[in-house]
Amino acid sequence: MRAPTGVIPRRALRSGDPAAIAQLVAATGFFTSEEAAIARELAEAVVAHGPASGYEFLLADGPGGLAGYACFGRIPGTEASFDLYWIVVAPHLQGQGVGRWLMALTEAAIGELGGTRLYVDTSSRPQYAPTRRFYAACGYVVAAELPDFYRPGDGKVIFLKALEQR
Amino acid sequence: MRAPTGVIPRRALRSGDPAAIAQLVAATGFFTSEEAAIARELAEAVVAHGPASGYEFLLADGPGGLAGYACFGRIPGTEASFDLYWIVVAPHLQGQGVGRWLMALTEAAIGELGGTRLYVDTSSRPQYAPTRRFYAACGYVVAAELPDFYRPGDGKVIFLKALEQR
């Protein structure tokens, strides 16, 4: 997949990234403050502890700063199953294929780490319909649904993609 | 539910508990060394950071040391859903209702914390059939199954119990 113009991927986190990630997550207007705090904490854990934190990042630098990022990691206790914890694209860059490109790079990075299955959790709420359509368009299928998981009326939908063996 | 003779519950972890927990988990012969290490790390996190760690413990002291324990916590991002991460009974005390009693106390403790749904993950492997029967006997239902989650042929079974509102 061709890279979006002027957007460059990198895997290594820098010390300023946790703040930039928190800002990006907040800028989408899509996440709760608890979620934004978690996003920042995961990045801080990687800056402090590296891969031992259990989290991996793939960042996309754009001309005006962080264009998007993905955060993922092997699920503890599994041989080769990964969770995609976050995939976020800056609001002004959405709808230009940055998400698809970031997802493809993330899947490739997970393949390099030996991952064979990638799970993504999302909400069943109407607000998340575009998110669910995005995952479906990326080749993910619904593996399970847990009604009322997040709160009454807000279920968890677990998407799965079996990654191609390389 | 009546307490098993000579077994006393407590919620607060002591500094010696992480080692006792690791020993208990290993003594069951049921868990991998990675799982035993995780069990110990969770206890260490609570000793170091208290409830801010996101984990809660319920321990059962028997005449000869730790008789069993449960580890649980609110699932981040959820309003009132909890995960039961661990429930373990010492091998020489199994089959005497300690597990059922520990589960009932755990559900009550989660209710006190405001939890309304308790999820428990386990394996689909034949080795875990007694575990699955135990959850079913405690009133848990299978909410989802994820084949090959842990490794090929080893799926995840997600049990759920909606806790009674108090």
In a domain, A3, yes or no: no
**Interface contact flag, A80 B151, Cβ < 8 Å:** yes
In a domain, A51, yes or no: yes
pTM: 0.89
In a domain, A89, yes or no: yes
**Interface contact flag, A149 B81, Cβ < 8 Å:** yes
Digits of tens for pLDDT over chain B (166 positions)?
A: 777 888 999 999 999 999 999 999 999 998 888 889 999 999 999 999 998 999 999 999 998 899 999 999 999 889 999 999 999 999 999 989 999 999 999 999 999 999 999 999 999 999 999 999 999 999 999 999 999 999 999 999 999 999 976 5
> pLDDT grade, residue A166 (50/70/90)?
low
Quick one: DSSP state of residue A79? S
Whether the pLDDT of residue A105 is over 70: the answer is yes
Average pLDDT score over residue span A127-138: 96
Average pLDDT score over residue span A139-166: 94
For residue B156, give the CATH number of its domain: 3.40.630.30
Task: Give the end-to-end CA distance of chain B in Å, rounded to a whole number.
Answer: 17
Whether the pLDDT of residue A103 is over 90: the answer is yes
The Cα–Cα gap between A158 and A124 comes to 10
- Measured between CB atoms, which of B77, B81, B151 is closest to A78? B151
The Cα–Cα gap between B80 and A81 comes to 26
Cα A99 to Cα A68, A86, B112, B164: the distances in Å are 8, 11, 42, 42
Cα A85 to Cα A43, A88, A153, B95, B128: the distances in Å are 12, 10, 22, 39, 28
Interface confidence, given as ipTM, is 0.88
**Interface contact flag, B79 A34, Cβ < 8 Å:** no
**Interface contact flag, B144 A146, Cβ < 8 Å:** yes
Q: Which residues in chain B have Cβ-Cβ distances shorter than 8 Å to A150?
A: 77-79, 81
In a domain, A148, yes or no: yes
What is residue A59's three-state secondary structure?
strand
Do B109 and B102 touch, CB atoms closer than 8 A?
no
Q: Which residues, 6 or more positions from A53, have their beta carbon under 8 angstroms from its beta carbon?
A: A42, A45, A46
**How far does B34 lie from chain A, in Å, by closest CA?**
7
What is the SS3 string spanning A3-57? CCCCCEEECCCCCCHHHHHHHHHHHCCCCCHHHHHHHHHHHHHHHHHHHHHCCEE
Q: Which residues in chain B have Cβ-Cβ distances shorter than 8 Å to A125?
A: none
Q: What is the chain B residue with the closest CA to A147?
A: B143
In a domain, A2, yes or no: no
Domain count, chain A: 1
**How far does B57 lie from chain A, in Å, by closest CA?**
20
Q: Which of B140, B151, B161, B165 to mutate to test the interface with A (most CBs of A within 10 A)?
A: B151
**Interface contact flag, A81 B150, Cβ < 8 Å:** yes
Alpha-helix runs per DSSP H in A74-121 = 98-112
The Cα–Cα gap between A146 and B26 comes to 32
In a domain, B1, yes or no: no
A51: alpha, beta or left? (left if phi > 0; alpha if psi -120 to 50): alpha
**How far does A146 lie from chain B, in Å, by closest CA?**
7
Predicted local distance difference test score (pLDDT) of residue B166: 57
Q: Which of A121, A156, A161, A165 to mutate to test the interface with B (most CBs of B within 10 A)?
A: A156
Q: How deeply is A166 buried, as exposed, middle or buried, from its count of CB atoms within 10 A (0-12, 13-18, 19+)?
A: exposed
In a domain, B44, yes or no: yes
**Interface contact flag, B149 A79, Cβ < 8 Å:** no
Write down how long chain B is: 166
Whether the pLDDT of residue A89 is over 60: the answer is yes
Distance of CA B42 to the CA centre of its chain: 12
The Cα–Cα gap between A150 and A156 comes to 7
Pairing state of beta strands A117-123 and A81-89? parallel
Q: How many CB pairs under 8 A join A and B?
A: 55
- Measured between CB atoms, which of B35, B77, B160 is closest to A77? B35
The DSSP result for chain B, as a single string, is -PPPTT-EEE-S--TTHHHHHHHHHHHTT-S-HHHHHHHHHHHHHHHHHGGGGS-EEEEEEETTEEEEEEEEEEPTT-SSEEEEEEEEE-GGGTTTTHHHHHHHHHHHHHHHTT--EEEEEEE-SGGGHHHHHHHHHTT-EEEEEEEEEEETTEEEEEEEEEPPP-
**Interface contact flag, B80 A151, Cβ < 8 Å:** yes
Per the structure, the complete domain to which residue A130 belongs is given by 8-162
